[in-house]
Amino acid sequence: MAITETGAPARKSNIDRKDLIQKFAALAGLLILVVVFSMTSNAFMSMSNGVTIALQTTSIAYLGLGATFVIITGGIDLSVGSVLALAGVVAGIAAKAGVPVSLAMCAGVLVGGACGWVNGIIITRMKLPPFIATLGMMMVARGLALQVTGARAISGLGEDFGVLGNGSFLRIVEEGANGFPKVVFPGVSYAVIVMAVLAIACAVVLAKTTFGRHLYAIGSNEEAARLSGVDVNRTKIGAYVLSGLLAGLCGCVLMSRLVTAQPNEGVAYELDAIASAVIGGTSLVGGVGTISGTVIGAFIIGILRNGLNMNGVSSFIQMIIIGLVIIGTVWIDQMRNRR
């Protein structure tokens, strides 16, 4: 007997188009910003400013990548701003104590991962909402960073400590006619290279591995994932550990740039991270999000800050504008999803 059925509408092309619009809306926003700022400020469209923007965006991007993983599962990580401070401080203390810089920074990154692991355990085993668990961690990590340093910055960390944050690849310096060094090509800073490598790696993990697939499954329907044999707890813990590791790395890079371990560094950075993911199309209810979107989101925030600075807009006005941009993008996203 032939079975006929109705109700499988051919909406495929439409959905694809929506995805495309989503991508292009963010990208177009980015391009518009670049065009507008290059018209309003002469210094904006220069090699050195490009380098500055890329460097400033790295910290938002590191945290944004982690936030994307966590938010795709339907969670949130408010602790990264504090965790990066703790991780950077640990790296600083270790370096000051004579540990080789590379090892000291590894220790910092691992401390970040450990904080993420604790977040994951609290969320999965103690079954606390991610908001509460990571809010708690936000205060604990900040408190620890302040306590171990006595709230004082650790300086005198040596030149090596500054390499990750200030060094560049392919930097070309000539001796000028007046005897002073002249920068021919500023090079690509290590922090930017790390950002690119991490973004690609995260995109691959998310799109091409079972771990990535499980993250989406949990965010889309946690119970269905559990009943399909997905180890929900382990996968979620993995997402928070990743977020913690990236926060740790971010802390090391930031402290390296200052060549000082600052326990007060990174306050409210978690909000930039979440904003970059959300501007890039990651849904706060989970199940939807891409790395490319988050990177675009991070650059939107980075360029907005930089361009507004160049135009002499005060940091208070900047806050207002970025706040409005977040509200605006999510509103547009909501409008699109509503029929």
Partner 1 sequence: MSMPTTPAATASLPGAVGEEVLRATGITKRFPGVLALDGVHLDLRRGEVHALCGENGAGKSTLVKIVTGLYQTDDGEVVYKGEARHFASIQDAQAVGITMIHQELNLVPHLTVAENIYLGREPKKGWFVDKKKMEADAQVYLDRLKVGIRANELVLTLTVARQQMVEIAKALSLDAEVLIMDEPTSSLTESEIDRLFEIIHELKAHGVGIVYISHRLDELRRIVDRVTVMRDGRYVSTRNLADITVDDIVSAMVGRSLEEKFPERSSAPTDEVIFRVAGLSRTGKFRDVSFDLRRGEILGFAGLMGAGRTEVARAVFGADPKTAGTVTLAGRELSIASPIDAIEAGIAYLSEDRKLNGLAVKMSVKDNITMANMAAVSDRFGFIDPPKERSAAKKFVDLLNIKTPTITQIAKNLSGGNQQKVVIGKWLFRDSRVLFFDEPTRGIDVGAKFAIYQLLDKLAHDGIGVILITSELPEILGMTDRVVVFHEGEVTGILETRKTSQEEIMQYASGVKHMFR
Task: Work out the burial of residue 284: count CB atoms within 10 Å of its CB; fewer than 13 is exposed, 13-18 middle, 19 or more buried.
Answer: middle
Tell me whether residue 12 or residue 127 sits nearer to partner 1 (CB atom): 12
Tell me whether residue 19 or residue 174 sits nearer to partner 1 (CB atom): 19
**Stretch near partner 1 under the rule CB under 8 A, chosen from 54-62, 120-128, 225-233, 322-330:** 225-233
Query: Which of 98, 178, 180, 223 is close enough to bind partner 1 by CB under 8 A?
Result: 223
Q: How far is the CB of 129 from partner 1 (least distance, A)?
A: 17
Q: For the window 265-304, what string marks contact with partner 1 as x by the rule CB under 8 A?
A: ----------------------xx----------------
**Stretch near partner 1 under the rule CB under 8 A, chosen from 26-34, 75-83, 145-153, 227-235:** 227-235
Q: Report if residue 221 touches partner 1, rule: CB under 8 A.
A: yes
**Number of residues lying near partner 1 (CB under 8 A):** 37
Q: How far apart are the first and last CA of the chain?
A: 38
Q: Please report, as residue ranges, which positions from 3 to 22 form the binding site for partner 1 (by CB under 8 A).
A: 3-15
Q: Report if residue 211 touches partner 1, rule: CB under 8 A.
A: yes
Closest CA to 138 of 121, 152, 118, 110: 118
Query: Which of 179, 229, 268, 335 is close enough to bind partner 1 by CB under 8 A?
Result: 229
Q: Report if residue 337 touches partner 1, rule: CB under 8 A.
A: no
Task: Work out the burial of residue 311: count CB atoms within 10 Å of its CB; fewer than 13 is exposed, 13-18 middle, 19 or more buried.
Answer: middle
Distance, in Å, from the CA atom of 320 to the CA atom of 337, rounded to the nearest integer, reads 26
DSSP 8-state secondary structure symbol assigned to residue 127: -
Query: Which of 31, 35, 200, 224 is close enough to bind partner 1 by CB under 8 A?
Result: 224
Residue showing tokens 């004082």:
152
Q: Report if residue 226 touches partner 1, rule: CB under 8 A.
A: yes
Q: How far is the CB of 243 from partner 1 (least distance, A)?
A: 19
Q: Report if residue 213 touches partner 1, rule: CB under 8 A.
A: yes
Say how many C-beta atoms besides its own lie within 10 A of residue 124's C-beta.
18
Cα 227 from chain centre? 32
Distance, in Å, from the CA atom of 232 to the CA atom of 248, rounded to the nearest integer, reads 24
Distance, in Å, from the CA atom of 220 to the CA atom of 222, rounded to the nearest integer, reads 7
Phi then psi for residue 4, to 5 deg, are: -105, 150
Give residues in contact with partner 1 (CB under 8 A): 1, 3-15, 208-211, 213-214, 216-217, 219-221, 223-231, 287-288, 339
